[in-house]
Amino acid sequence: MLKHQIAHPAIVGRDEWLTARKTLLEHEKEYTKQRDRINAERRRLPMVRLEKEYTFTGQNGSVKLVDLFDGRTQLIIYHFMFDPEWDKGCMGCTGFVDALGDLSMLPDRDTSFAIVSRAPFPKLQAYKTLKGWNLPWYSSFGSDFNYDFHVTVDESIAPIEYNYRTKAEMDRDRAFYITQGEAHGLSVFFRIDQAVFHTYTTYARGVESLTDAYSLLDRTPYGRQEDFEDSF
């Protein structure tokens, strides 16, 4: 008899556990194969050339989106919620960046990673110093970037859209959405010479598991660049 009464899985013998574990293993293998198929489908998403020239402020002053690639072919941007009026960044976004693992593999895969927020750069720099982060962080203050990628919501500037649903669609489905303010997300861009293309953006729970180099690479056109992948 166990002394403490707490919620727990069923207690069974080893043979029954092994049967259940083997069943689960088959489901896990199915999930892995399905994930590989989805990753391959994502890599083959068409891309859209960006005609607008976005300007950001970073450590070395004013830069363009193409500069954020740092000479590489692929760029992953985390849209970090930091309103210009705030003195500190969003706690959920802070937790995401805190959870990021070693991303040193990304440059070896021709991929750069950067954070972008709408707050002025001095606020971002102060918060970055406070948190002890060393990831590149850029301010999109004064640019349309956040509005165009639907991570800042202001209907007076751009129609409300989030996670690929319009305001009318969200109203129809009685879905929760913000009418003004910041949202988070993750976007991927591809560079050919000086031309920049948008390949992918995910929002909400689509971001929550992207805290290691492999899962981030899975969002890019080139993927992990491993032999097992169905890739370019």
Number of domains in the chain: 2
Do 40 and 53 belong to one domain?
no
In a domain, 128, yes or no: yes
SS3 90: coil
Do 159 and 86 belong to one domain?
yes
Residue 80: predicted pLDDT: 98
Domain containing residue 159? 48-217
Do 142 and 208 belong to one domain?
yes
Q: Is residue 197 a contact partner of residue 191, using CB atoms and an 8 Å limit?
A: yes
In a domain, 3, yes or no: no
Q: What CA–CA distance (Å, rounded) separates 185 from 93?
A: 10
Do 28 and 111 belong to one domain?
no
Do 188 and 116 belong to one domain?
yes
Residue with tokens 């950001």: 56
In a domain, 222, yes or no: no
In a domain, 1, yes or no: no
Residue with tokens 């800042």: 152
In a domain, 6, yes or no: no
Q: Which CATH number characterizes residue 78's domain?
A: 3.40.30.10
C-alpha radius of gyration, the chain, whole number: 21
Kindly give the confidence (pLDDT) of every residue in the chain, 232 residues in length, as a single tens digit, with 9 standing for 90 and above: 667 788 889 999 999 999 999 999 999 999 999 999 999 999 999 999 999 999 999 999 999 999 999 999 999 999 999 999 999 999 999 999 999 989 999 999 999 999 999 999 999 999 999 999 999 999 999 999 999 999 999 999 999 888 999 889 988 988 888 888 999 999 999 999 999 999 999 999 899 888 899 899 999 999 988 877 776 6
Do 130 and 107 belong to one domain?
yes
Residue 179: predicted pLDDT: 82
Do 81 and 120 belong to one domain?
yes
Do 178 and 211 belong to one domain?
yes
Residue 232: predicted pLDDT: 67
Residue 1: predicted pLDDT: 63
**pTM of the prediction?**
0.91
Do 39 and 53 belong to one domain?
no
In a domain, 230, yes or no: no
Q: What CA–CA distance (Å, rounded) separates 205 from 184?
A: 10
Q: Is residue 96 a contact partner of residue 115, using CB atoms and an 8 Å limit?
A: no
120 CA to centre of own chain: 21
The helix (H) or strand (E) run that includes residue 152 is strand 152-154
Residue 102: predicted pLDDT: 93
Do 34 and 128 belong to one domain?
no
Do 108 and 40 belong to one domain?
no
In a domain, 223, yes or no: no
In a domain, 36, yes or no: yes
Do 37 and 121 belong to one domain?
no
